[in-house]
Structure 1
Amino acid sequence: MSSRFTSGAIAVLALSATLTACGSGGSASSGSGSGSGGSGSITVGLITKTETNPYFVTMKKGAQAEAAKDGVKLLTAAGAYDGDNAGQVTAIENMIAAGVKGILITPSDPKAIAPTLDRARQQGIVVIALDTPPDPQNSADALFATDNLAAGKLIGQYAKVRMAGKTTKIATLDLTPGVDVGVQRHNGFLAGFGIAEGDPSIVCEADTGGDQAKGQTAMENCLQKAPDINLVYAINEPAAMGAYQALKAAGKDKTVTIVTIDGSCTGVSALSQGQFAADSQQYPLKMASLGVDAVMNFAKTGKKPSGYTDTGVSLIAATPAAGVDSKDAAYGQSNCWGS
């Protein structure tokens, strides 16, 4: 639809830091960018899925802080909504025209964005995926992200211990079909809990797009289908909070265990209040800062980053579970992100 494209095309593209890099030393030997063979500023682009999700807001702040520290320019953009591939394509094209040395991106549609990433790389621009790999993954030079399979396993293992001795009825609130982050987290949860896809203990599966409102609707529908649900796996905190709201409205919030992934300050607070039982904490600030540093190093030395860098994950739990390594809410608060 034209309205969708227009909203994506006007996704924010702003100069969020205007700092001149040190003028000594050589710049990258290839690629479009400002300056060659000596002095000139280094420009880095960051494209997130949205400007509203606290996770990506935090990622942007991390990139801004690192760019200021390193003395580089940072251009930022985002889709109008999660899944806005047209907006991200427009942002990449604008950044190519602006002469960036590298693009950091959290792909909204990993498969659809790949050809545009390839075009950027063909012009000598280094492309680093943050949080979500493109499809195929080698459409980016490097990936800095949480080990999403491990994050899912941690909350699955925790839930297994918490539900010991009970007949478990599970609702899985997932992301979007085919998106690698959601698939890995879902599969990790199942592996940690010790079950396979199709296990009879899974009484409801629903996609939420990682959105709170959709998570609430999904949970309401699941409760209609299976009122005796007692364990909820949620792809992220917004979906988990939506599930909690639905459970609270149904008077079931005290009897259903919710486990999720994110580790934001809001999520850890919800965990402290008993709304969530466990939360795998990830570190978007680290992804962003490592990404900016990698582009700066490429601009100065011509050496591209490559492969996958695991930016870490920790299980934050309201109460410990025997045999499962976890941190308490105080640790979660001291290492959380967002407000």
Structure 2
Amino acid sequence: MLHRLPNIFTRSLFLLFALLFVIGSLMSCSDSSTKKNDQANEKSDLPQTAIKAGKYIILDTRTDQGDRATAKKNAENTLKKYPSLDAMVGLWAYNVPQCLEALKDVGKEGKVKLISFDEDELTLQGIKDGHIVGTVVQQPYEFGYQSVKYLKALVENQTVDLPDNKQLDIPTKVIKQENVEDFWSNLKSLQKLGQQANNSPRPTEGHYFAFVVNLPDPFWSYARAGCYKAEQDFNLVCDFKIPHDGSSTEQNRILETLIQKEGLAGIAVSPLDPNNQTEILNKVAEKVKLICHDSDAPESNRLFYLGTNNYLGGRQVGKLIKEALPEGGQIMIFVGKMDVLNAQQRRQGLIDELMDKPISG
């Protein structure tokens, strides 16, 4: 009898291991099923607007029509609806400052990555404080200064060397915590130059131009400084015009009024709705020299575009997202209006960068 005990013991161990294997398999199937169900539920929670871009999911693009209260409400609603959100990306200057305010209200600053466009002072402070990853900045001072300089050259029939695409690019810069202080200091110097020029007696003779922007925003204060400095440097007059309600209707009214003014020789404009402003822009181009800045209207008879290559700027925003979220994540995009070309180009550049698409041309 005793000599059979080892066999019984061996068979018992075998049965025990077999039973553990079966239990483990069942648990594995259960975990796999649960994981699949979780993934299915996660997918079902995504909006139909969601875009899969490599390792990233762009949930949607929220617009606010240039209204800051709406911009903050968009941010608040996003945080409520998507508690697992990884990043908020703003494509216009005021978007990320509003996102930061919404995050502060719920004590989540620093927990959701913020990536911005433009050099709003609240953004720069947020970068300095470590709440914002970084921002891709334009050079609005140069928008103002160079627009006036080129309009003067056009009126005086000087040769303006243009690339085949009729786009004069003003380079962007990437600002992060390590260079924000130097950049901000330089901005203040440019503002001081503009204030000094503005405090000087305005020229009463010389060419008369107008610089028309898209909506009220601190961003444009730097362009205004550039215009004022150009007035002094080139001895001419440049009116600075803002559609205070941020609408194309108001912008069109400003353009109509300007071309009735005696002596006006040229206009630089950032079109709010280029697809639906071709008629008014062509009317302006018949009367005076017309160029676009900041956002283009390539189907119009404008002479050329001066400003940021917004597509490449969007690619730089995408690179900042990759640095902040190397393993991927869920992203919400915020912008004022999607019918403006600069918004379309920045967004597309961002998406293409996250998808690792090659840059053509």
Q: TM-score, normalised by structure 2?
A: 0.51
Q: CA deviation at 1:95?
A: 4.0
2:119 and 2:313 mapped to 1: Cα distance? Answer: 11
1:177-209 deviations in Å (ceiling 9; x for gaps): 4x133222333344346559xx87246744366
Structure 1 gaps of 5+ residues are 1-12, 20-68, 303-339
Aligned to 2:114: 127
Structure 1 207/17 Cα, relative in aligned 2: closer, same or farther at 3 Å? closer
Aligned to 1:233: 268
1:168 and 1:244 mapped to 2: Cα distance? Answer: 26
Between the aligned residues of both structures, percent identity stands at: 9
Aligned to 1:245: 280
Answer yes or no: is 1:221 the counterpart of 2:257: yes
1:145-189 deviations in Å (ceiling 9; x for gaps): 322222333322211222339941223323444x13322233334
Q: TM-score, normalised by structure 1?
A: 0.53
Aligned to 1:290: 316
Q: Is the 8 A contact 2:118 2:136 kept in 1?
A: yes
Q: Is the 8 A contact 1:75 1:95 kept in 2?
A: no
2:214 and 2:71 mapped to 1: Cα distance? Answer: 20
Q: CA deviation at 1:105?
A: 0.9
Answer yes or no: is 1:168 the counterpart of 2:207: yes
1:18 and 1:301 mapped to 2: Cα distance? Answer: 17
| Aligned partner of 2:135 among 134, 137, 143 | 143
Q: Is the 8 A contact 1:262 1:282 kept in 2?
A: yes
Aligned to 1:268: 298
Structure 1 286/172 Cα, relative in aligned 2: closer, same or farther at 3 Å? closer
Q: CA deviation at 1:286?
A: 2.8
1:109 and 1:243 mapped to 2: Cα distance? Answer: 27
2:236 and 2:250 mapped to 1: Cα distance? Answer: 24
Answer yes or no: is 1:184 the counterpart of 2:222: yes
Answer yes or no: is 1:81 the counterpart of 2:65: yes
Structure 1 219/240 Cα, relative in aligned 2: closer, same or farther at 3 Å? farther
Question: What is the RMSD of the two structures over their aligned residues, measured on CA atoms?
Answer: 3.9
Q: Is the 8 A contact 1:182 1:235 kept in 2?
A: no
Q: CA deviation at 1:88?
A: 4.2
Pairs within 5 Å for 1:55-74: 70-74=54-58
Pairs within 5 Å for 1:72-111: 72-95=56-79, 97-107=82-92, 109=94
2:275 and 2:140 mapped to 1: Cα distance? Answer: 17
Based on CA coordinates, which of the two structures has the bigger radius of gyration? 2
User: Counting helix residues as a fraction of each chain, which structure ranks higher?
Assistant: 2
Which structure ranks higher in relative contact order (CA pairs < 8 Å, sequence separation ≥ 6)? 2
2:322 and 2:104 mapped to 1: Cα distance? Answer: 20
2:270 and 2:51 mapped to 1: Cα distance? Answer: 36
Structure 1 294/247 Cα, relative in aligned 2: closer, same or farther at 3 Å? closer
The SS at the match of 2:115 is strand
Structure 2 gaps of 5+ residues are 1-45, 127-131, 158-204, 329-361
Aligned to 2:146: 154
1:18 and 1:167 mapped to 2: Cα distance? Answer: 52
1:47-73 deviations in Å (ceiling 9; x for gaps): xxxxxxxxxxxxxxxxxxxxxx53211
1:297 and 1:204 mapped to 2: Cα distance? Answer: 38
Structure 1 202/268 Cα, relative in aligned 2: closer, same or farther at 3 Å? same
Structure 1 269/79 Cα, relative in aligned 2: closer, same or farther at 3 Å? closer
